[in-house]
Homo-oligomer: A and B are copies of this chain.
Amino acid sequence: MKAAVLGTSGYTGQLLLRLLIGHPDVETIIPVSLSKEGEAIQDVDKSICLHALAKFELTGGRCVSLAQAQGLKPDVVFACLPHLKSGEVCACFLGQAVIIDLSADFRFRQAKDFSRAYGSPPPRPDLLSQAVYGLAEWYTEQIKMTDLIANPGCYTTASLLPLLPLAREGLIGQQPIIINALSGISGAGKKTEATYLFAERTENVSPYAPGTSHRHCAEIQAELSANGTEQRVFFNPHLVPMARGICATISVSLAREMTFNELLDLYKNYYGTKVFIGLREKGLPQTAEVWGTNRCDLGFHLEDNQFFIFAVIDNLVKGASGQAIQNMNLRFGLNETAGLAINRP
């Protein structure tokens, strides 16, 4: 297989390069940079092992332009460009390769939902209807059949995986869902703003964009309401002083009385065979336990019909590049775990 990666300077693009180097079914990697055509791969990411560049031979170990990449006919294209740009750029591969877009550009089924969250219409509204939302455990069958996968946001993945079993069964009660999410700083991308400097973030917890103001809240709401019912969701994100990891602590009032074991059975029913979902029957998960893996581990607490779910992921892996690989694996009929870690390093 030949895999192209559009955008090689951010965290998700660089992690994809490293994951693809280790992927047993990928023989050729095509790094594509819009601005740094010709740059050597070891300058893109100085950490890459110089003894492991065989897969980059097709491009002479260098980044190529978009046009060059098209000429090299990749089987799969990962787009790691900024929102509003990614969808526009990667669309040129449609019909030629499977596209997995890590931006938000194809995540909403309705252009108006995208506009509300991002302040302007999606770059390619015409393609929204053919895109499949790449939440791998939920849209597995559709992912296998599509050529355009919209990889979900990190907060969204950490929120939907715990909530969808309840939502699909109609078990969420009247009170609004309250999600308190804690994220490592890489969740902001490699943005060179003062607020993300080490000296600003260490020994610091910062709540931000509360209520319904974060863009991922709209994405969560859109998916939870996919079957018609409007679900109220409040989402309070916080930056915590670590590089990677998300912990979503979710409060749900149940629509009817249930026991802890009934709830556990519900989750086992949905996720018991899913290799990347870790159900904790007792105790709560910690983000470090899934660091570097493509897992989402879930812990539970029930009290007086108030149900608390604790979900942890690595935002760069299951929340971005790892799930993108998982989607590639599903789409091409590969082993679902190929190239992905199930245990922390």
Contacts and interface: CB of A to CB of B under 8 A. Distances in A.
Contact of A303 (B206, B212, B284): B212
Contact of A287 (B49, B205, B279): B205
Contact of A343 (B21, B212, B283): B21
A205 B240 contact: yes
A180 B249 contact: yes
A303 B234 contact: yes
A251 B211 contact: no
A278 B52 CA distance: 11
Interface in A133-168: none
Interface in A1-56: 11, 18, 21-22, 46-52
Given A234-B308, A236-B308, A204 B49 contact: no
A130 interface: no
Given A343-B21, A343-B52, A186 B199 contact: yes
A318 interface: no
Contacts of A21: 343
Given A241-B198, A243-B199, A343 B207 contact: no
Interface residues of A, number: 82
A243 to B, nearest CB: 4
A132 interface: no
A207 to B, nearest CB: 5
A326 B63 CA distance: 33
A238 B247 contact: yes
Interface of A: 11, 18, 21-22, 46-52, 175-176, 178, 180, 182, 184-186, 190-194, 196-208, 210-212, 232, 234, 236, 238, 240-245, 247, 249, 251, 253, 275, 278-279, 283-284, 286-293, 295, 299, 301, 303-304, 306, 308, 310, 312, 317, 341-345
A244 B288 CA distance: 13
A287 B199 contact: no
A80 to B, nearest CB: 16
B306 A234 contact: yes
Contacts of A242: 202-205, 240-241
Contacts of A201: 198
Nearest to A202: B243
Contacts of A184: 199, 203
A304 B288 CA distance: 35
A292 B312 CA distance: 21
Contacts of A185: 197-199
26 contacts: A18-B344, A22-B343, A46-B289, A50-B279, A51-B275, A51-B342, A178-B178, A180-B249, A182-B205, A182-B238, A185-B197, A185-B199, A192-B192, A192-B197, A198-B243, A200-B288, A202-B242, A203-B287, A204-B291, A205-B240, A205-B286, A236-B308, A241-B242, A251-B251, A292-B292, A317-B345
